[in-house]
Every structure is written in structure tokens, then in C-alpha cells.
Amino acid sequence: MPTFDQLVSRVKAELQGFALDQASVSELAAQMAGGDTVFTCDASTVGNLSRGMVEVDDELILVKAFDAASGSVSVMGGANGRGYQNTVAAAHDAGALVTSAPAFPRSRVRDELNNALKALYPSLVVLETTDFPFSAAQVEYPLPAETADVWYVTGRWVGPERVSAPMPNWRYNPKAYPSDFPTGKSIQLFDGVTPGQNVRVVYVRPPAALVNGSDDFTVSGYPERVADLIVWDACRRLLPSMLSARLQQQAVEATERAALVSSRDIATAVQLYAGMHAEGLAAERALQFTEAPNYATFQGS
């Protein structure tokens, strides 16, 4: 199962290639605390860095100057240079890579992966279940707070058949009285089964965001195969930033690359990833109805 960190690395590999983008990199020679305004890099590679933005793990830092002899690096603006561009000023272990001016910062890749994950809903939903005993004296029952809709409802029959049959006459109430239903979500059942028998509600919820680098993708609620969709969509979302970079002609690299990488090339790549995502999403949506048919799409025939 891919972790959040592995998905970030995969997106960066998709966008930068495995060999064509040779970033300037050093490494921390000693542990760095979250409030440090001076840190030490490997003296033999600190010259790979330059004044400006560097990345350590998921944090962006503004570098003021470095000492090639000692490897000492000072932060521009002191504490203001830590956690640049809304990243988090965090502690970093010795040996952590220090990348100069990353084309696609890990923090930005993380944000776009979660944006792509969020955008899958409601085309692709996460299905959960809740069970409760049926009561002849009760029409409305509570649902979990995370419920966004109801997929289908079944009720258990009495007897040795072990059949849970559809209960098609129900109404989802997303604005239930909080005094009666603390979550504010409920379901009204207009079909009945034998009192005391189990009712199962298969409900819909949005995917959960990935937070920690070690989070397995399935924390989202989606199966592993859906990870491809958010990688492709994250690439589509990130690629237009290359167009903005081409407009900054005061940068030598942008001036040189502008003649080699045209806006047409970037637009083609965006269309490629958008097409892969759209095709994959349509296939996954069809598969979802096959694996978990609701009774609006499947009547047992």
C-alpha cells in the first residue's frame, strides 16, 4: 500500500523525470531544531546551495548566506525565514536532504494530492455501514455524523435463510433535530422487518485527507487502486506552475528553458494527465456500482 510520502515522491518523479532534473542538493551535518536560525550542512556539498529558498523535508527555508569552510548556513530574516510559504518550521534529523530551489516543493505536492483526493467526491464515494435493531414503534433512527448520503438499506429476515433484503422505502434526513439526534443526521424507514431484527444502512462519506507522511493511502477510505487517480490529477494541477516560471524572465534558468519547453508542451502534458484521470475515474465509478450496487441501479436481474 503506498504511503503519503511515497505518493509525493511518485508525483515528483512523474513531473521531473528520473535523470533530466538534477537538483542542487546538500545534507544536514547535525540535527536542526524548529527554531534554529543557523544550521550546519555537509561542508563538501554546501556549495551546491545558493541564497534564496531551500527545502528540508517538507519545510521551505530562506537562506541568507553560507560558509563553505564550516558548512554553516544562516537563515534570512531569522525566524521569519523558517516555514516559508506557509510550511511548518520543524525539527530535522542529521542527514536530511537540503534541496536548493525545488521546482515542485513537497509541501505543494502534498496540498495538491489532497485537493485531488477531495475532488474525487461525489463522483467516487467512500462507503461505510451502521447497524441497529428495528423497532416497530420507531420510524427515525440516528446516523453517524460523517454521513453525507445513503447508498442502500437492508433488513434481516427471520428464519434460517440468513437473508438481508432491500428496504427501498427510506428517507435520509441531513437536518435532523439535534435534541433527538445529536449528530444531526438520521434515516426514516417506511418499510418494516420483524422487530428486533438487524437493519444495515450503507452510507456515503467523503474521503479523509492524508496528513502524516506514513499514512497509508487507504486511510482515505478508497482502495489502493484509486491512488493512480490522485497522482495523475495532482500532476495536472501542478504543471501550470511551469508556465508561471516561464514568465519570470529575470531568472537565467527560465530564460534558457523557455526556448526548450514551450507553453504548448506544458499544455499537452496537462491534457495528457487530465485525460488519464478522466478515463480512470469513469472506470472506477463503473466498478464501484458493480462491487456495491445500490437498489436504484440493481434489481436482482
Q: What is the pLDDT of residues 170-219, one digit of tens each?
A: 999 999 999 999 999 999 999 989 999 999 999 999 999 999 999 999 99
- Evaluate if residue 259 carries a pLDDT over 90: no
Q: What is the pTM of this model?
A: 0.86
User: Contact 193/199 with Cβ under 8 angstroms?
Assistant: yes
Same domain, 197 and 168: yes
Q: What is the DSSP letter of 28?
A: B
Phi/psi at 98 (5° precision): -115, 110
pLDDT confidence of residue 141: 98
In a domain, 139, yes or no: yes
Same domain, 142 and 170: yes
pLDDT band at 301 (very low <50, low <70, confident <90, very high): very low
pLDDT confidence of residue 160: 83
Task: For residue 194, give the nearest of 152, 140, 142, 156 by alpha carbon.
Answer: 156
Same domain, 141 and 183: yes
Which residues pair with residue 173 across a beta bridge?
186
Task: For residue 116, give the nearest of 202, 1, 10, 261 by alpha carbon.
Answer: 10
How many domains, the chain?
3
CATH number at 83 reads: 2.40.30
pLDDT band at 33 (very low <50, low <70, confident <90, very high): very high
Rounded to an integer, the average pLDDT of 46-63 is 94
In a domain, 301, yes or no: no
Same domain, 291 and 214: yes
Same domain, 114 and 84: no
Rounded to an integer, the average pLDDT of 265-276 is 91
Query: What domain range is 42 assigned to?
Result: 23-102
Q: What is the pLDDT of residues 115-157, one digit of tens each?
A: 999 999 999 999 999 999 999 999 999 999 999 999 999 999 9
CA–CA gap between residue 189 and residue 136 (Å, rounded):
10
User: Contact 126/207 with Cβ under 8 angstroms?
Assistant: yes
pLDDT band at 300 (very low <50, low <70, confident <90, very high): very low
User: Contact 234/106 with Cβ under 8 angstroms?
Assistant: no
User: Contact 185/144 with Cβ under 8 angstroms?
Assistant: yes
